[in-house]
Structure 1
Amino acid sequence: MRKIGLLPRIILAIVLGVVVGSIAPKILIEVFSTFNGIFGNFLKFAIPLIILGFIAPGIAEMGKGAGKMLGITTGVAYSSTIVAGLLAFFAGTALLPSFIQGKSLTEMENPEEFLLEPLFVIEMTPVMGVMTALLLSFTLGIGMTAIKGDTLQQAFINFRDIIEKLIAKIIIPLLPVHIFGIFANMTYGGQVAFILSVFAKVFALIIVLHIVMLLIQYTASGAIAGKNPITLIKTMLPAYFTALGTQSSAATIPVTLRQVRQLGVKEKVADFSVPLLATIHLSGSTITLISCAMGVMLLNGHTPTLGEIMPFILMLGITMVAAPGVPGGAVMAALGLLDSMLGFNETMLTLMIALYLAQDSFGTATNVTGDGALTVIVNKLSKGRNKTNTTDASVAS
């Protein structure tokens, strides 16, 4: 199974879950429900560790010796993420209710009403709450940028390596089994057909929004740099299709760098911005997360408002720092926010994981292609800043 990519395994798990849930006896579904309960509790235990292990060293690494270029690149990336989130929200507000067509799965608020209970439960209490983990991560990350020593930062880098192993060796391999059990249980309860039919439309909307976001990014970069946005997009297409295959922004960096240099970006700017943006810029993933989260909330009988989603978008832009190096990393980094800010329960979180991973490659491809547009903007803004500094120095002399 390890030779099969994550996406095929997720799709296979969903298909097998639907088939088994249609024909299996109750006791077998209860066995998988028991596994789901154990794995779900372990996931809740791991979420604060994931947040602490990725965000704290991520902020520390970003803050040391970066200078003005870091500020420009980070500001542009964060702005792009916010725009992507708002685009998804307003499109979702306009279209998603019609996809649901007035129906809802209000039972998701109490999943025991349509999901079989596990045979037994093993409690796994998290070492801290999600918001505590976030606040501690920000405090330690910012603190590590302010002190001279690097002992604590190195310790957190080692801790991050442990968490990466935990995700790569335990959580990700077991996710397909967990998703299989959830879909088998939902099929047994008669809910899965409606969910799949709804999210087929949501996926189509997400792909359209990815394209719209890329057009926005390249229109802006073309206007700022005085270049044809269509030509810029064509130049970046090799990076898009490479990311579709790799499902990894990091693995696509060599191709992204090559194509960005063909856009006329200075080599120094490209070498700094492309790897950094691969870490902090996830506009495509943000669109997917917001769209799927709103769909799940509507299925739960709750209409999301801007007042609920906007704080989530703002925090998501920061939390995305935790995503790189983790398969399906964006959704893993977002689980804590979905739980603490939007009130998602275990079933809703599992649905989010399955729905996100089913189209992860398209979100990654949008992230990577957008990096090209943002690098063009950073290149232009850094030139302007350098000219300003040169003029100020001349006046002063």
Structure 2
Amino acid sequence: MKNLIYKWNQVSLVKRIVVGLILGIIFALTIPDATKWVSIFGSLFVGALKAVAPVLVLFLVISAIAQHKTGQKTNMKLIIILYAISTTLAGLVGVIASFIFPVSLTLTTGAQDVAPPGGILEVLEKLLFNIVANPVDAIINANYIGILTWAIVLGIALKHASDRTKDVFVDLSDAISKVVKWVINLAPIGIMGLVYNAISTSGLSALLEYGQLLLVLLGCMFFVTFFVNPLIVYFYTHKNPYPLVFKCIKDSGIYAFFTRSSAANIPVNMRLSKELGLDEDTYSVSIPLGATINMAGAAITISVLTLAAVHTLGIQVDFATAVILVVLAAVSAAGASGVAGGSLLLIPLACSLFGISNDIAMQVVGVGFIIGVLQDSCETALNSHTDVVFTATAEYAQKRKEGKEFVMIPKKAV
């Protein structure tokens, strides 16, 4: 048995995930009544990732900032700019696609028990209160804005601490990183449970009615993934962006697709950033920050579903209002929670721009939950893998600016 486990661990993690994916589909088609006993593996896997991610972020960021030497450069300013550009362009793609391929909806119910924010000020207010949240509550509730704030403050406060104290935080972050590696090794079993649960409970038949809407949503997400974002990367690096993009999709996007949580994918992105040889002082902050504000997929979802409601009701949209929607979708997306379905609750906010009542807007949210099996999975995959893409892009752009040689994918990371 020990030899069997050793040989299994020697197989590429991606290949092991494919095996888990196939087993999940087979079990869902052959034993659909065993939902509890198979899907529990998926719930345990996501739960383990969500449990370890907040603690990992806290100690990684504290350690990185505490050891940061004055004058040592990071690329956080450019990374935030890249996050903003990508999210805004994604909202623009969603708006343009919705005008080219207008979709009308058969409205549904089922989302009345959730409470969307009342306006953009409420979204911003929530973000501000998350910043000053109790640190223990922030960890318990996976409030990454609060965790980042406390980690940065404590890191700055510990800058003048003794080397022995700083070493304690380094050792703690290394230990938690090792735990993350153990959890990630369970991905094949976890994904088997997640796939089984998705197919056996929701099925794919519920998606057929909203096929056109799904095509527009997923088409926009694929366009941003394979054309818009690579163009941004090329603009800053002047090198072929696709090796980096495909590497991040393979080693990050696939996990995010199944976990459907940017927050749960933080440990995966941390590991990938380290594998790419990126600066830990930068990615220890940019990755958890990206899980909160880098939301291109959410901007697409908000803009496309909002305009679907507009087309359903026959509302005319002028150019100025469309531009406002792009900005509103981008800003709102940055306030979306890093959990499954987080962007859907911001649709009523965007619908209010066109005078659409909350009752109708919540029916659109209900449609979002129905198609969420694919929509939210692809949205999270887009959101999460680009955290690493843009962190790497900022570092490579800085090297290019300084005239240093660099490769998009180091040989050890291939």
State the TM-score, normalized to the length of structure 2: 0.54
**Counterpart in 2 of 1:230?**
242
C-alpha distance in 1, partners of 2:135/2:363?
Answer: 28
Which one-letter code corresponds to 1:72 in the other structure? Answer: L
- Separation in structure 2 between the aligned mates of residue 368 and residue 198 of structure 1, nearest angstrom: 28
In the alignment, the residues of structure 1 paired with residue 82 and residue 344 of structure 2 have an alpha-carbon distance, to the nearest angstrom, of 22
Separation in 2, partners of 1:334, 1:365: 20
| Pair 1:218-2:205 in alignment | no
SS in 1 for 2:315: coil
Alpha-carbon spacing, 1:370–1:135, altered in 2? closer, same or farther (3 Å): closer
The alpha-carbon deviation at position 267 of structure 1 amounts to 3.0
The share of aligned pairs that are identical, in percent, is 20
Cross-structure match for 1:366: 382
The 3 A distance-change label for structure 1 pair 325 and 94 is closer
Q: Residues 338 and 349 of structure 1 are in contact (CA less than 8 Å); yes or no, is this contact kept in structure 2?
A: no
Give the direction of change, closer, same or farther, for the CA distance of 1:3–1:87 in structure 2 (3 Å limit): farther
Q: Deviations over 1:267-288 (max 9, x none)?
A: 3322221121111111012112
The CA distance in 1 between the partners of 2:133 and 2:92, in whole Å, is: 36
CA distance in 2, matches of 1:332, 1:69: 32
Segments of structure 1 that go 5 or more residues without pairing to the other structure are 6-63, 116-124, 146-152, 165-192, 388-397
Aligned to 1:78: 84
Are the equivalent residues in 1 in contact too, given 2:230–2:245 (CA < 8 A)?
Answer: yes
Cα distance in 2 for partners of 1:156, 1:252 equals 21
Shift of 1:330: 1.5
Cα 1:4–1:304 change in 2 (3 A) is: farther
CA distance in structure 2 between the partners assigned to 1:262 and 1:162 by the alignment = 29
Summarize the Cα distance change of 1:324–1:386 in structure 2 as closer, same or farther, 3 Å threshold.
farther
Output the TM-score relative to the length of structure 1.
0.56
Cα distance in structure 2, aligned partners of 1:336 and 1:157? 30
Alpha carbons 1:235, 1:263 under 8 Å: kept: no
The equivalent of 2:270 in structure 1 is: 257
Q: Aligned pairs, how many? A: 273
Change (3 A) 1:159 1:217: closer
Distance in 1 separating the partners of 2:273 and 2:78:
17
Equivalent in 122, 131, 138 of residue 133 of structure 1: 122
**Which residues of structure 2 form unaligned runs of 5+?**
1-34, 40-64, 110-114, 144-204, 404-414
Q: Structure 2 CA distance, aligned partners of 1:129 and 1:211?
A: 31
Say whether 1:95 aligns with 2:101.
yes
CA distance in 1, matches of 2:398, 2:37: 44
In structure 2, the CA distance between the partners of 1:160 and 1:348, relative to structure 1 (3 Å rule), is farther
Structure 1 residues 361 and 266, CA, compared in 2 at 3 Å: closer, same or farther? same
1:343 aligns with 2:356: yes
Closer/same/farther in 2, CA of residues 129 and 235 from structure 1, 3 Å limit:
closer
The residue aligned with 1:375 is 391
Query: 1:80 is matched by which residue type in structure 2?
Result: S
Q: Is the 8 A contact 2:302 2:350 kept in 1?
A: no
- Do the aligned partners of residues 163 and 308 (structure 1) sit closer, same or farther apart at CA in structure 2, a change above 3 Å counting? farther
Cα shift readout 1:340-367 (whole Å, capped 9, x = no counterpart): 5653431332323432534211110111
The alignment partner of 1:235 has SS state of helix
Query: 2:242 & 2:120 partners in 1: Cα distance?
Result: 42
